[in-house]
Amino acid sequence: MSWKNDQVTKEETDKIINLAKDALNVDGDFVEFGCYKGDTSLLIAEVLQGSSKRLWIYDSFEGLPEKSAFDESVLGQDFRAGELYATKREVKERFLRAGLAVPVIKKAWFSDLESGDLPERIALAFLDGDFYESIKDSLKLVESKMVDGGILIVHDYNNAALPGVQRAVDEWGVSGRKFRIFLL
């Protein structure tokens, strides 16, 4: 499948795909928090073809939530509540059209999800919720499920338009974790 994504650069996508290939050797499933239209989900699902691992993807399917004060930035004014809206149906249909296994697709605000909504063990987590609370909530959900040697990727850590991402990760703290952390 060729690269097509207005949210993640080609270079970042290549990195995610390589990490996903690496995580095939780790026990557990793959999760993505903030799937939007499913561009990256489809590429990850392609990596999973032939594997017994499942992909679980999560989104409000109502677009972005309200910003917190930590998300305010001059560069990020276009990131507003309700932007980046996609439907669960369109994402599911894209998988069917591509002939790929349809992931577990959960429509929810991350703050409403519970441990039972996630797989028991996570080999790869891709967090792409853009805002402080969204990243904080998704980190809290995945941290106890990440297996040793697993891979956690947080998108937009270095994006000045979305300062809440870096704040959420720094408050959470990356040191001393038994899984590998990649901040894109």
Ligand X SMILES: C[S@@+](CC[C@H](N)C(=O)[O-])C[C@H]1O[C@@H](n2cnc3c(N)ncnc32)[C@H](O)[C@@H]1O
Using CB under 6 A, list all residues that contact ligand X. 5, 7-8, 34-36, 39-40, 59-60, 63-65, 84, 86, 109-110, 128-131, 134, 137
Contacts of 93 (CB under 8 A, 6+ apart): none
Cβ of residue 35: shortest distance to ligand X, in angstroms?
A: 5
Residue nearest to ligand X (CB): 34
Read off the amino acid at residue 81: A
Q: Judged by CB, which is closer to ligand X: 94, or 145?
A: 94
DSSP 8-state assignment for residue 39: H
In terms of phi and psi (left: phi > 0; alpha: psi -120 to 50; beta: otherwise), the region of 72 is beta
Q: Judged by CB, which is closer to ligand X: 63, or 149?
A: 63
Contacts of 34 (CB under 8 A, 6+ apart): 58, 59, 127, 128, 129, 130, 134, 138
**Alpha carbon distance 49, 42 (integer Å):** 11
Q: Judged by CB, which is closer to ligand X: 90, or 148?
A: 90
For the sheet with 29-33, list strands across it. 104-107, 55-59, 29-33, 122-127, 146-154, 180-183
Cβ of residue 148: shortest distance to ligand X, in angstroms?
A: 25
Q: Judged by CB, which is closer to ligand X: 88, or 177?
A: 88
Record the tokens describing residue 151, joined without a space: 């891979």
Cβ of residue 63: shortest distance to ligand X, in angstroms?
A: 5
Q: Judged by CB, which is closer to ligand X: 20, or 64?
A: 64
**Alpha carbon distance 69, 66 (integer Å):** 10
Cβ of residue 8: shortest distance to ligand X, in angstroms?
A: 4
Cβ of residue 112: shortest distance to ligand X, in angstroms?
A: 8
